[in-house]
Chain A
Amino acid sequence: MRWLDLFRARKPAQASAASAKERLQIVLAHERIGRTREDFLPKLQQELVAVVARYVAIDPNKVAVNLERGGDMSTLEIEIELPGPQAQRLEAAASR
């Protein structure tokens, strides 16, 4: 029998329910917006990658997208691995 259990019994339950509410509010706010107008983030990402591809030969598999939706603010992080000068020179040589 752990004495601590007596004091811990209530607290964590409350904390976790509050976290459930907060997570739901954020995710549902985003989903409800998505119902009335299309979620532009996927399209934005595609167009950004297309623009970069016009300037540098990139491997679409080397594009990492990270999104973190928040209540007040979301962050979209797009990591595009650009080929180094060496790879570009090789490519240029090959196409000559």
Chain B
Amino acid sequence: MAEVIVVTSGKGGVGKTTTSAAFGTGLAQRGKRTVVIDFDVGLRNLDLIMGVERRVVFDIINVIQGEAKLNQALIRDKRVDTLAILPASQTRDKDALTKEGVRQIIEELSRDFDYIICDSPAGIEKGAMLALYFADQALIVTNPEVSSVRDSDRILGVLQSRSRRAEEKLGRVKEHLLVTRYDPARVERGEMLKLEDVQEILAIPLLGVIPESESVLRASNTGTPVILDPESVAGQAYKDAVDRFLGEKVPHRFLEPERKGLFRRLFGGRAA
């Protein structure tokens, strides 16, 4: 049986898709058979971030409406062979996504995969509700910023009341906090919420802290999940998070501002 993991936040633009791509790729690199599903129907983006946009023929809606077999819609990654992507539809509207359709897809994927990662759209509308409905575990992607923390709290409430696990009394959805776009220099200057503050307010176990990093834009430019860039601090932080998720004890890194050497200070250049 596969574990279903939703990547969610409530708030938009906090790093869910970046996380889904990196985390899914990381699990696959560890040999886990992993599929990442884009639930953002109408505004698909996971395909671009994972660099498979030219290879999309069918999407999740085609599968739900019986126009394509699941197998035909899955895109197998060319870099990591245990990784697959199920794209969202770009042209249909959200109503084509149904609970029954998603249930069947997840059931079928469960036979062939170890992990099913659901990249949620922002908000708490249908797409977001269906992305989290079948989850066993949740990555709560949160930026150290007031509205993001509040929205994360809201989504935690939804997870514990309106997911399948809640409705069928199957035990709690396991929650993991992932703080992203963390800028230690700004935290030090008192301009950004501290990690401890976010943790204290949300009170769920911390899985990882992903620093703000220029390499994330570079990764999206080229369609390479940032975890595949070994020089990137964000990529390294995602790798740590995957290792922790798989039960390893890994210390948190990149929590302190980088002390720049003389040349860096002279010639600029921020975190990789």
Task: Let me know if B218 is at the binding interface, CB within 8 A.
Answer: yes
Shortest Cβ distance from residue B242 to the other chain A in the assembled complex, whole angstroms: 24
With contacts A5-B264, A6-B263 taken as known, whether A61 is within 8 angstroms of B222 at the C-beta atoms is no
Contacts A1-B263, A31-B90; A60 near B57 (Cβ below 8 A)? no
Q: Verify A42–B264 contact, CB threshold 8 A.
A: no
B64-72, B122-130, B150-158 - interface stretch:
B64-72
Q: Mark A1-42, 1 if CB is under 8 A from B, else 0.
A: 101011001001100110110010011000100110000011
Cα(A3)–Cα(B262), bound, Å:
11
**Cα distance A67–B267 when bound, in Å?**
44
Asked if A88 lies at the interface with its beta carbon under 8 angstroms from chain B, I say no
Binary A-proximity of B50-80 (CB < 8 A = 1, otherwise 0): 0101111110001000011101100000000
Q: How large is the interface on B (under 10, 10 to 19, 20 to 34, 35 or more residues)?
A: 20 to 34
Instruction: Name the interface residues of A42-76: CB closer than 8 Å to any CB of B.
Output: 42, 45-46, 60-61, 63-70, 74, 76
A16 to chain B, nearest CB (A): 4
Most buried by A among B90, B222, B223: B222
Contact A34 B91 (CB under 8 A): yes
**Cβ-defined contact, B57 with A64, below 8 A:** no
Shortest distance between the CB of B163 and any CB in chain A (Å): 30
Q: Is the interface of A mostly helix, strand, loop or mixed?
A: helix
By the criterion CB–CB under 8 Å, are B222 and A68 in contact? no
Q: For A64, list chain B residues within 8 Å (CB).
A: 71-72
**A61 and B71 contact, CB distance less than 8 A:** yes
User: In the complex, A3→B72 CA distance in Å?
Assistant: 48
Which B-chain residue is minimally distant from A44 (CB atoms)?
B57
In the assembled complex, B261 has its CB within 8 A of some CB on chain A: yes
Which residues of chain B in 220-236 are interfacial with respect to chain A, using CB atoms and an 8 Å cutoff? 220-223
User: Out of B57, B62, B218, B261, which one reaches A67, CB within 8 Å?
Assistant: B57
- Asked if A19 and B269 sit within 8 Å, CB to CB, the answer is no
Say which residue of B54, B91, B269 sits within 8 Å of A68 (CB atoms). B54
Which residue of A has the minimal Cβ distance to B91? A34
B62 nearest in chain A by CB position: A42
Q: B109 contacts the other chain (Cβ, under 8 Å)?
A: no
Q: Report A-chain residues with C-beta under 8 Å of the C-beta of B268.
A: 9
Choose from A12, A42, A70 the contact partner of B57 (Cβ within 8 Å).
A42
Residue of A nearest to B260 (CB): A1
Contact assessment for B68 and A42 in the assembled complex, using a CB-CB cutoff below 8 Å: yes
* Cβ–Cβ contact B67 & A16, under 8 A: no
| Minimal Cβ-Cβ distance residue in A for B54 | A69
Expressed in whole angstroms, the Cα–Cα distance for A74 and B218 within the complex equals 26
State whether B67 touches A27 (Cβ < 8 A): no
Q: Does B48 touch A at the CB level, under 8 Å?
A: yes
- Are A5 and B269 CB-contacts (below 8 A) given A34-B91, A70-B54? yes
Other contacts beyond A1-B264, A6-B263, A67-B57: 12, CB < 8 A? A16-B217, A17-B221, A26-B54, A31-B90, A42-B57, A61-B69, A61-B71, A63-B71, A63-B72, A65-B58, A67-B54, A67-B55
29 contacts between A and B (CB under 8 A): A1-B261, A5-B264, A5-B269, A6-B263, A9-B269, A13-B218, A16-B222, A19-B221, A19-B222, A20-B220, A20-B221, A20-B222, A23-B48, A23-B53, A23-B223, A26-B54, A27-B53, A45-B57, A61-B69, A61-B71, A63-B69, A63-B71, A64-B71, A65-B57, A65-B72, A66-B55, A68-B54, A70-B54, A76-B57
